[in-house]
Structure 1
Amino acid sequence: MRVRLHLAATAGLLALALPLAGCGLGSDPSSTDSTLVWGLGTAPRSLDPAHAFDGESMLVSNELLEPLVSLDPTGKPVPRLAESWEQPDPRTYVYHLRSGVRFWNGADLTAEDVVYSIERHRDPAVASELAGYLAEVASVEATGPLEVTIRLRSVVPEFAHTVALVSHTVEKAFAVEHGDNLGDSTTLTMGTGPYRVTRFSSQGVSLERNDDYWGTAPAMAELDFEVVPDAETLRLALDSGEIDGTFGVPPDSSRSWDALDGVTVEYVSAPVTTMLTLDVSAEPWDDVHLRRAVAYAIDREALVRTVFNGHARKAASIVDPELWSDLLPDDQVAALYDGLADHSYDPDRARSELAASAHPDGVAFTLQYPAQSPAISKALQVIKANLADVGITLTLKEVTPDKWLGDIYAHQDLGAQMLLLGADYPDPGALPRLLLGKANMSPNGFNLANFSTPETERLLGEERSPDPATRTAALSRIMQIAGEELPYIPLYYGDEALALDDDLEYGVAYSHWVPFFQEWASHVRPVS
């Protein structure tokens, strides 16, 4: 399976933002005819979820296309298009759809629409970025006019959560008619969500309220997404009232955002791991001593302190310890992490490992990163200086977010990469299932280190056991292997933030799970 590539607040597609026209709340913030103007760092790559598996695209698509279930602020699956579901056996899920749900064109939602939308991701010709989530799916069938049954080949403990990502439903007839053009700026899409799309381009997206929506209607009649790739320009736009809110607060600039008058910024801890990925299948990263030299050379504590103003946590593993809450008590989680290999900043040990490697005189390598990403850029400058101090030369190459993401999905010439990955459900197995194993060593796979061992493959199977003790033991050993072999060098877990004009309020608890795994805009409303 795969998890979301986390792009929010880190990237932008355009050199210039759409001119801001001051079209926010205006003089009557209590009016339900108001327009909510939301700032994005980058435009959606597509309105087709098969080709838009990134944070910014999902912010938009969640308002348009609805999945069978969403995740609540705690990460728990809750009803969406499915009003209920059952699991008659560990490998079968039966979803009962709501009646009376209609697409924007007036057509009734049917089970066939849902089946078609899921099956598209399994079609190799579509080359869906979500295909990995469905690797263990045996069949998806309409077992009634409003009933969908999904059968798995093997037990997949996380499937109840991940169905929230793979079932965003488009009308089958519309999708078939428009074929490869589905989701582009001309064809758009056809969904059942609380908003319908009226404009989509590289400069932004405009939505209007769906007055025929089956659920609670949004407070705002229109929702405009404006692309503002520069973080400082985004901050000034919020300060001037030209936009009303954003999830794109860069943690490295938190002090200036916190100082905004008439704006509230709320920070939440997020299970998003930022790491260096090293392709162990090719030189020079096939040398474990070199990988360890890099790990010891990086001062993560200084990076968190100086770059992120405390809005990040030093990472000891690819797995955020907060993801263990449902499996282990806090004291046992702490003991687990205390037992992992410690690669804290130690330049002398870095030099010793380099001397023991096949490259005792050092190496030079290039790493590309997405443009308009000040936090990543600043972090990489710290890393570059750290590595230079021990004899390793890092050259940084800034590229467009499209190229950065496209090269990652292509799974070619991987070398060293800077990767940010957020968990898609509150479980410690989320990232290991993605980052390790042969199943993910292919295009659209996220084992960017091409790391696999017989023991790791066996453990990845064991960690899917329904028995918590078996899962805990397998995951603990997987983390130990990853910590010893270092195919990935974990750097930090970053906070996420919501910045909102004080004339507005967010009607539910805000958490990491809110903007990317549920319909979020309906919760933004004028302060009463």
Structure 2
Amino acid sequence: MLRTAALAAVAALVAAGCSGGGGDNSSGSGAAFDVTIDTPAAKGPLDKVKWSLYAEPQTLDYAYAFDFPINTVLANVCENLLRVTPDLKISPGLASKYTNPDPLTWVYTLREGVKFHDGTPMAAKDVVASLTRHADPEVGSSYSTVFKDVASITETGPLEVTIKLTRPNVLLNEQLSASPGIVESADFLAKAGKDYGNPQGGVNCTGPFSLEEWKPGTSITLKKNDAYWDSTLAPKTSELEFVFIQDPSARANALLTGEVDGGYLLPTTSFDKLHASDGKLYFGAITGSYSAAVTNLKGALGDRRVRQALSMAIDRDGMVQAALNGYGAPAKAPVPAAGWATVPAERAQTIHNSLPAITQDPAAAKKLVEEAGADGKKVVVATSNLAPEISVAANAIQAAGKEIGLDVELRTIAPDAYTALFTDPATREGIDVLVTSGYDMTPDPLEFYAALQTGEFANYGNWSNPEYDQLVKEALGTTDPAARAELTVKLQEIALRELPGIPLWDSPMSLYLGKRVTGVTPNITHLSYPWAATLGSAN
């Protein structure tokens, strides 16, 4: 892939964000790693590639594309009105251009000649049907709140769609570069009904690959779309099979033996072995940090002092070593420097560097617990063998909580059920803390902080702060990226003071490529960018 000055700036930003500077990253534990935006370009085509996923997607319905496995697959099958590129920029996608003639209006001009996988042409009616579906309460979309400021979405021409707002919301436009902006055939949606997105109903989008077969519990196979509209991303691989391997050790072994050709989000315990293998381990930018999301504010953690105490008691350095083998650093905030891509790299780094380090002080934390009258109160933390870092983090939180007088209980969740904790509020019943790897779909840090508004889907603990909500409203109406970033800095200050989520660590996106494949981006944009289109032969 072509490197540009912009790409180099992003790579440098990520490196500095994790390590404090230098050409590589180091947590101080001896682990050092380069962060890159790409891998060597493919030299030729491949008939078939096998790719590993740590869990089976619960669905391929874009309305519920709220986790890594589904988005890793769907990014190659379904496309958005706009596109986030690997250099963390927003560019035209299925919309060839868009305008914002007034603060309450966005107009999208669609590309001509785009066809769905069944051969039918894409038109404005398909965009309207796809986007309005998010607001249907019967659908229960994970992105319903993205559209909360929308007054109407209408077809204003055969290839033109106009969105009218009730109040300014620049973030809505940016988020149409990810799952909220996916376009599906209106006719196919109507025909599939409640089977849409499941193994029986399937999907019918416009991406470089189409859904060929879904074997529940085993694999999802995609095939090359020979009629794909974007010639610059014509797939180099004819068939792409995603295999579901939940056990981290089994997944690492499948990569090391060549049973599968590659995968994202690798078990951290396997990094050293993967480094020493015939393939190549890469690290890329990620727009979010690992956090302990507070999912119940009616219990002990409803008191801010208890949340602060738990944060103060956690041994983040030990957590980074145990969970990541040193491939990371303690987090200062929920969004790392790489997540501030709407401002120049220097400004993003300054914002991040100005944050105070979170210091460990169990004695002071214990006093806060006593002041809050929470001594001996129960806190339930979800854990899972989905990934080693989840169980390590949960154990560290339990140890920290017990040290300061809390009664911390671990609740083990199966890997496939753990992903449901983020999409189904009912599954979080009785759980106070959830270890999560958050990320933004867009280059704008406001996306993460806006998701903590009152009533937002990803506000897992239903935290509410009127001052915060008002600042979000002001930021959403600010079109200048620099000014919007300054408002986001204020939101960050409140979030770190109130702690609806407790930052844990920053770590890069991981990618492993076996010796026969290359050509994909290692960064977080693979969750919405058609990354597999450039996947091909390394030889």
Query: Which of residues 471, 485, 488 is equivalent to 1:459?
Result: 471
Indicate if the aligned counterparts of 1:253 and 1:308 stay in contact, CA closer than 8 A.
Answer: no
The answer for the alignment partner of 1:512 in structure 2 is: 524
Query: Which of residues 502, 509, 534 is equivalent to 1:523?
Result: 534
| Aligned-pair CA distance for 1:329 | 6.5
Q: Is 2:344 aligned against 1:293? A: no
Q: Which amino acid aligns with 2:205?
A: G
Deviations along 1:107-132, whole A, 9 cap, x unmatched?
11111112111111111111111212
Name the stretch that deviates more: 204-213 or 331-340: 331-340
Where does the alignment leave 5 or more consecutive residues of structure 1 unmatched?
A: 1-28
Q: Which amino acid aligns with 1:516?
A: L
Query: Which of residues 142, 157, 167 is equivalent to 1:144?
Result: 157
Secondary structure of the equivalent of 1:272? coil
The answer for the alignment partner of 1:502 in structure 2 is: 515
Indicate if the aligned counterparts of 2:213 and 2:221 stay in contact, CA closer than 8 A.
Answer: yes
Q: Which amino acid aligns with 1:228?
A: I
Indicate if the aligned counterparts of 1:69 and 1:78 stay in contact, CA closer than 8 A.
Answer: yes
Q: Given the superposition, is the C-alpha separation of residues 86 and 346 from structure 1 closer, same or farther in structure 2, using an over 3 Å criterion?
A: same
Indicate if the aligned counterparts of 1:366 and 1:397 stay in contact, CA closer than 8 A.
Answer: yes
Q: Given the superposition, is the C-alpha separation of residues 105 and 466 from structure 1 closer, same or farther in structure 2, using an over 3 Å criterion?
A: closer
Question: Using the alignment, how far apart are the partners of 2:335 and 2:288 within structure 1?
Answer: 9
Q: Is 2:300 aligned against 1:284? A: yes
Deviations along 1:200-239, whole A, 9 cap, x unmatched?
1232101111222222331111111111111221222122
Question: Using the alignment, how far apart are the partners of 2:501 and 2:84 within structure 1?
Answer: 28
Query: Which of residues 253, 265, 279 is equivalent to 1:236?
Result: 253
Q: Given the superposition, is the C-alpha separation of residues 408 and 210 from structure 1 closer, same or farther in structure 2, using an over 3 Å criterion?
A: closer
Question: Using the alignment, how far apart are the partners of 2:417 and 2:264 within structure 1?
Answer: 23
Equivalent positions of 1:358-373 (< 5 A) are: 358-360=373-375, 362-373=376-387
Q: Is 2:265 aligned against 1:248? A: yes
The answer for the alignment partner of 1:227 in structure 2 is: 244
Question: Using the alignment, how far apart are the partners of 1:301 and 1:374 within structure 2?
Answer: 16
| Aligned-pair CA distance for 1:473 | 4.5
The answer for the alignment partner of 1:75 in structure 2 is: 88
Indicate if the aligned counterparts of 1:336 and 1:476 stay in contact, CA closer than 8 A.
Answer: no
Q: Which amino acid aligns with 1:171?
A: S
Q: Identity of aligned pairs, percent?
A: 27
Q: Given the superposition, is the C-alpha separation of residues 110 and 251 from structure 1 closer, same or farther in structure 2, using an over 3 Å criterion?
A: same
Q: Which amino acid aligns with 2:436?
A: L
Q: Which amino acid aligns with 2:442?
A: Y
Deviations along 1:398-425, whole A, 9 cap, x unmatched?
2134433434434353522222210112
Q: Given the superposition, is the C-alpha separation of residues 84 and 299 from structure 1 closer, same or farther in structure 2, using an over 3 Å criterion?
A: same
Question: Using the alignment, how far apart are the partners of 2:359 and 2:121 within structure 1?
Answer: 57
Q: Is 2:208 aligned against 1:194? A: yes
Query: Which of residues 75, 91, 103 is equivalent to 1:62?
Result: 75
Q: Is 2:506 aligned against 1:489? A: no
Name the stretch that deviates more: 473-482 or 417-426: 473-482
| Aligned-pair CA distance for 1:170 | 1.8
Indicate if the aligned counterparts of 2:76 and 2:208 stay in contact, CA closer than 8 A.
Answer: yes
- TM-score normalised by the chain length of structure 2: 0.85
Equivalent positions of 1:350-361 (< 5 A) are: 350-360=365-375
Indicate if the aligned counterparts of 2:510 and 2:522 stay in contact, CA closer than 8 A.
Answer: no
Q: Which amino acid aligns with 2:226?
A: D
Question: Using the alignment, how far apart are the partners of 2:395 and 2:432 within structure 1?
Answer: 19
Q: Is 2:111 aligned against 1:98? A: yes
Equivalent positions of 1:336-415 (< 5 A) are: 338=354, 340=356, 343-360=358-375, 362-412=376-426, 413=429, 414-415=431-432
Query: Which of residues 441, 450, 453 is equivalent to 2:462?
Result: 450
Indicate if the aligned counterparts of 2:342 and 2:481 stay in contact, CA closer than 8 A.
Answer: no
Q: Given the superposition, is the C-alpha separation of residues 215 and 324 from structure 1 closer, same or farther in structure 2, using an over 3 Å criterion?
A: closer
Equivalent residues, number: 490
The answer for the alignment partner of 1:24 in structure 2 is: none
Question: Using the alignment, how far apart are the partners of 2:416 and 2:254 within structure 1?
Answer: 24
The answer for the alignment partner of 2:35 in structure 1 is: none
The answer for the alignment partner of 2:28 in structure 1 is: none
Secondary structure of the equivalent of 1:417? strand
The answer for the alignment partner of 2:15 in structure 1 is: none
Deviations along 1:416-471, whole A, 9 cap, x unmatched?
22222101122221211112x2232xxxx121232222222222222222355653
Secondary structure of the equivalent of 1:74? coil
The answer for the alignment partner of 2:147 in structure 1 is: 134
Question: Using the alignment, how far apart are the partners of 2:482 and 2:424 within structure 1?
Answer: 37
Query: Which of residues 139, 142, 160 is equivalent to 2:173?
Result: 160
The answer for the alignment partner of 1:16 in structure 2 is: none
Indicate if the aligned counterparts of 1:274 and 1:418 stay in contact, CA closer than 8 A.
Answer: yes
Secondary structure of the equivalent of 1:446? coil
The answer for the alignment partner of 1:15 in structure 2 is: none
Q: Which amino acid aligns with 1:289?
A: R
Question: Using the alignment, how far apart are the partners of 1:367 and 1:424 within structure 2?
Answer: 26
Question: Using the alignment, how far apart are the partners of 1:332 and 1:273 within structure 2?
Answer: 15
Q: Given the superposition, is the C-alpha separation of residues 333 and 522 from structure 1 closer, same or farther in structure 2, using an over 3 Å criterion?
A: closer
Secondary structure of the equivalent of 1:394? strand
Name the stretch that deviates more: 411-420 or 173-182: 411-420
Secondary structure of the equivalent of 1:439? coil
| Aligned-pair CA distance for 1:521 | 0.6
Q: Is 2:125 aligned against 1:112? A: yes
| Aligned-pair CA distance for 1:477 | 2.8
Indicate if the aligned counterparts of 2:300 and 2:378 stay in contact, CA closer than 8 A.
Answer: no
Indicate if the aligned counterparts of 1:77 and 1:160 stay in contact, CA closer than 8 A.
Answer: no
| Aligned-pair CA distance for 1:253 | 3.0
Q: Which amino acid aligns with 1:527?
A: A
Indicate if the aligned counterparts of 2:374 and 2:406 stay in contact, CA closer than 8 A.
Answer: no
Indicate if the aligned counterparts of 1:249 and 1:257 stay in contact, CA closer than 8 A.
Answer: no
Q: Is 2:307 aligned against 1:311? A: no
The answer for the alignment partner of 2:31 in structure 1 is: none
Secondary structure of the equivalent of 1:463? helix
Question: Using the alignment, how far apart are the partners of 1:329 and 1:171 within structure 2?
Answer: 39
Indicate if the aligned counterparts of 2:382 and 2:394 stay in contact, CA closer than 8 A.
Answer: no
